[in-house]
Chains A and B, each alone.
Chain A
Amino acid sequence: MKKTGFLYDKRYLQHLTGAYHPETSERLTAILKGIQEADFYSSIINIEAKPADIETIETVHTKEYIKRFKQACLNHESIFECPDNQICSDSYDIALLAVGGVLTAADMIMEGRLNNAFCAIRPPGHHAEIDRGMGFCYFNNVAIAAKHLQRKWNIKKVGIIDIDVHHGNGTEHIFEKDPSVFYYSIHEHPSFAYPGTGRDFDIGNDAGAGFTKNSPVLPGRGIEEYKKLFMQDCIPEFEKFKPEVIITSTGFDAHEDDEMSRIQLSTKGFSWLAKQIVNLADTYCQSRLLSVLEGGYSIKRLPELARNHIKILLNS
């Protein structure tokens, strides 16, 4: 059994998104419930969240953007820059706490106290651009974690695997010219799904050309297409790239019971994906795997999806 960490903090529930918004605190409550009910619950190691410092956030986001977000919260605004981004006065602090928790998990992995970790955080991050919040995302948790691993732990090559059903435009753009971070995403085809990016011919730019890979999937195709594309597009690229750490943008919104997509993955399909990622981490990264929650909106399915995910991380 691996040393698997679990990041959760009840303060993550304080990021309030108002009525009729899918990215709610109930998502985390459901995930926590699913994990607490698991027979392996006593085996997982809890990670305590602490706020990230601004300097770390600035490794990805502009000062002006960070200031705008902070000010919007101080002004008690309910929307930040686009209607999708519903905020409350605590959102800025909670977003810092989300990043900080992920960085603590990353440190614990690098210190050898953990093999891997699942970070049940909100707000999510992979749509957040350098200077723009979008798609319920403010700080790009995964991108900041990748930079942190490089700066603090001298990691040369970070592999990011994004299985959220929506393409991680923010993460891709942040690293599109960077050959030290390989970004792979499998998602619903951008002609049919938010945010409209992540086409198979987007492969990175300049020095980063060839270090981005996208597998867009047509609606309704389900696990068979996912299996085919993941084996064909991700595995060989990661074999070539040989990352030292893998970070995953773990979205559960490709599930057949999730109203945010039409991909139709089953719960078993998610387990298959998680196993492949754990195998990659075992093969190339001394099992170092940092799994960070992004989307996933089926309150009914989140408990089992998160439970199965951690079970696979534990290898139990």
Chain B
Amino acid sequence: MFINKSMTVNVIKITEDKTLAQAKKKMTLHGEIRHLPVVDAANTLIGIITDRDIRSALPSDRNVCAPEIKAASEKLKVKDIMTKNVVVITSEGTIQDALLLTQKYKVGALPVVDGKKGLVGIISTRDLLRAFINVLGIKEPGTLLCLIVEDEFGIMKKITDAIYEEKISTGSILVARYWEKNKRAVFPYLLTQQVTNIKKRFQSLGFQLLDPMDWSLEPDTK
């Protein structure tokens, strides 16, 4: 899965000579934008500014009155506070690359650049979530089950055969590998509300159906 299908192509961007007031206005004007890539005249990425950067740069003390904040936001320039060392991804990056990058560097969006750092898009955590919502198929109505199964050959075949035999469409099947020793948790998202029979079938195959109240994936310790 490449990011170019999920990224925003019409990027709202800004130049470094603009004031924070202008940057803030730009973010507000275009809805819920939190990241503004900063480009030069040739559309080369030279920085990024976030709504958080702007908030941090302006006086926030309760005693400071609105005109003072306004004055500061009109005085400070984007170039004064922008992050210059931007975490970027190329348009040939994958969704997996983007997920790992955003986790590693704790950023909310990645400007997408071509080989010469020309800005061609932006992919935010919201875009990534949307991509995963599509993959998981959860926009369609369905029922999520959780099976605890032995980590052994042929298990997935048994699960998919059972779903097939019950004539149920599948939205997605998620497998959590490291559930507990020698076990896997399998989450079939089934596009039906009639899951009574399939549940019984799974149980007759010896699979443990987990109570939804007991579902929680282990946190990543890394």
Binding site for B on A (CB under 8 A): 83, 189-191, 196, 199-201, 218
- A293 to chain B minimum Cβ distance, whole angstroms, is 29
Residue from A83, A190, A200, A201 with most neighbouring chain B CB atoms (10 Å): A201
Asked if B101 and A201 sit within 8 Å, CB to CB, the answer is yes
- In the complex, residue of chain A having the shortest beta-carbon distance to the beta carbon of B100: A199
A159 to B95, CA, bound (A): 31
Q: How many inter-chain contacts with C-beta < 8 Å in the A-B complex? A: 18
Interface contact A199-B97, CB-CB below 8 Å:
yes
Whether the Cβ atoms of B97 and A191 lie closer than 8 Å is yes
Which A residues touch B125, using CB under 8 A?
none
Whether B104 contacts A201 by the Cβ 8 Å rule is: yes
B residues adjacent to A (C-beta < 8 A): 1, 92, 94-97, 100-101, 104, 153
Q: Is the CB of B153 within 8 A of A83?
A: yes
Contact sample, A vs B, 15 pairs, CB 8 Å cutoff: A83-B153, A189-B94, A190-B96, A191-B1, A191-B94, A191-B95, A191-B96, A191-B97, A199-B97, A199-B100, A199-B101, A200-B97, A201-B97, A201-B104, A218-B92
Q: Which A-B residue pairs are the 3 nearest by beta carbons?
A: A191-B94, A191-B96, A201-B101
Residues of A within 8 A of B100 (CB): 199, 201
CB distance from B149 to the nearest CB of A (A): 16
Of chain B, the residue at the smallest CB distance from A79 is: B153
**Cα A191 to Cα B89 with chains together (Å):** 14
- Complex: how many Å from CA A14 to CA B34? 61
Q: Report the separation of the CA atoms of residues A196 and B153 in the bound assembly, to the nearest whole angstrom.
A: 21
Residues of the A chain whose Cβ atoms lie less than 8 Å from the Cβ of B153: 83
**A196 proximity list for chain B (CB < 8 A):** 96
In Å, the complex CA distance between A218 and B96 comes to 13
Q: Which residue of A has the minimal Cβ distance to B95? A: A191
Residue of A with least CB distance to B1: A191
Closest to A196 in B: B96
Neighbouring A residues of B95 by C-beta, 8 Å:
191
Smallest Cβ-Cβ distance to B153: which chain A residue: A83
How far, in angstroms, from A199 to B96 measured CA to CA in the complex?
A: 10
Report the bound CA distance from A218 to B2 in whole Å.
Answer: 11
Q: A201-B104, A218-B92 are in contact. List 9 more A-B contacts (CB 8 A).
A: A83-B153, A189-B94, A190-B96, A191-B1, A191-B96, A196-B96, A200-B97, A201-B97, A201-B101
**Contacts of A191 on B, CB cut-off 8 Å?**
1, 94-97
Q: Which residues of B contact A200 (CB under 8 A)?
A: 97
Complex Cα gap A196–B94 (Å):
12
Q: How far is the CA of A201 from the CA of B99 in the complex (A)?
A: 12
Q: Hey, which chain B residues are within 8 Å of A218, CB to CB?
A: 92
Q: Which A residues lie within 8 Å of B94 (CB)?
A: 189, 191
A191 and B95 alpha carbons, distance in the complex (Å): 8
> In whole angstroms, what is the CA distance A199 to B101 when docked?
9
CA A64 to CA B94, docked complex, whole Å: 37
Bound CA–CA A96/B92 (angstroms)? 41
Give the residues in chain A near B104, CB-CB below 8 Å. Answer: 201
Q: How distant is B94 from chain A, measured CB to nearest CB, in Å?
A: 4
Give complex CA distance A262, B130 in Å: 29
- Residue ID in chain B nearest A221 by CB atoms: B92
Closest chain A residue, CB of each to CB of B152: A83
Which residues of the other chain, A, contact B101 by a CB distance below 8 angstroms? 199, 201
Alpha-carbon distance A199/B1, docked complex (angstroms)? 15
Closest Cβ of chain B to A59, distance in Å, is: 25
Cβ distance B132 to chain A, nearest Cβ, rounded Å: 14
Q: What's the Cα separation between A101 and B1 when bound, in Å? A: 42
CB distance from B162 to the nearest CB of A (A): 23
Roughly how many angstroms separate A201 CA and B93 CA in the complex, as a whole number? 11
> How far, in angstroms, from A124 to B96 measured CA to CA in the complex?
28
A214 shortest CB reach to chain B, Å: 11
Chain B residues with CB under 8 A of A190: 96
Bound complex: CA A190 to CA B95 (Å): 11
Which residues of chain A are within 8 angstroms of B92 by Cβ–Cβ distance?
218
In the complex, chain B residues whose CB is within 8 Å of the CB of A189: 94
- Bound-state Cα–Cα, A229 to B97, Å: 18
State A189–B96 Cα separation when bound (angstroms): 11
Q: How far in angstroms is the closest Cβ of chain A from B221?
A: 15
Closest to A191 in B: B94
In the bound assembly, the distance between CA atoms of A200 and B89 in angstroms comes to 10
Residues in B neighbouring A199, C-beta threshold 8 A: 97, 100-101
Chain B contacts for A201, CB-based, 8 A: 97, 100-101, 104
Chain A residue at minimum C-beta to C-beta distance from B90: A200
